[in-house]
Amino acid sequence: MTKESGRLALLLSGRGSNLGAFLRAQHSGELEGSVEVVISNRPEAAGLKIAQDAGITTEVVDHTLYASREAFDQVLAQKIDEFKPDVIVLAGFMRILTAGFVDRFRGKLINIHPSLLPKYRGLNTHQRALDAGEREGGATVHFVTADLDEGPGILQTPVSIEDGDTAATLASRVLPFEHRLYPYAANLVLTGQVSLGERSALWHGETLPPGGKLWRPS
Active site residues: 113
CB 207, min distance to ligand GAR, A: 25
Of the pair 113, 213, the CB lying nearest ligand GAR is at: 113
Question: What phi and psi values does residue 22 have, to the nearest 5 degrees?
Answer: -65, -40
Binding residues vs ligand GAR (CB under 6 A): 12, 14-18, 47, 91-92, 112-114, 139, 175, 178
Q: Say if residues 177 and 139 touch (Cβ distance below 8 Å).
A: yes
Q: Say if residues 18 and 92 touch (Cβ distance below 8 Å).
A: yes
CB 92, min distance to ligand GAR, A: 3
Strands 6-12 and 87-90: parallel
C-alpha distances in Å from residue 116, one per residue of 141, 142, 192: 9, 11, 24
CB 183, min distance to ligand GAR, A: 12
Which residue has the closest beta carbon to ligand GAR?
Answer: 92
| Residues whose CB falls within 8 Å of the CB of residue 73, separated by 6 or more in sequence, listed in order | 97, 98, 100, 101
Rounded to an integer, what distance in angstroms lies between the CA atom of residue 148 and that of residue 128?
17
Of the pair 127, 202, the CB lying nearest ligand GAR is at: 127
CB 109, min distance to ligand GAR, A: 13
Of the pair 124, 207, the CB lying nearest ligand GAR is at: 124
Q: Say if residues 72 and 60 touch (Cβ distance below 8 Å).
A: no
Of the pair 99, 148, the CB lying nearest ligand GAR is at: 148
DSSP 8-state code for residue 74: H
